[in-house]
Structure 1
Amino acid sequence: MVEIMCYSDYVLTTHEDYMHTELDPTQLAIEYLRRDKSGLTPAQYLKKLKQLRLEFADLLTLSHSELKEEIDFAWRMGIH
Structure 2
Amino acid sequence: MLSNNDILKKLRVAHKLRDDDIINILKLVDFEITKGALGDMFRSEDHANYQEAGDQILRNFLNGLIIHLRGPRPDKR
**TM-score (normalizing by structure 1):** 0.28
Larger relative contact order, structure 1 or 2 (CA cutoff 8 Å, min sep 6): 2
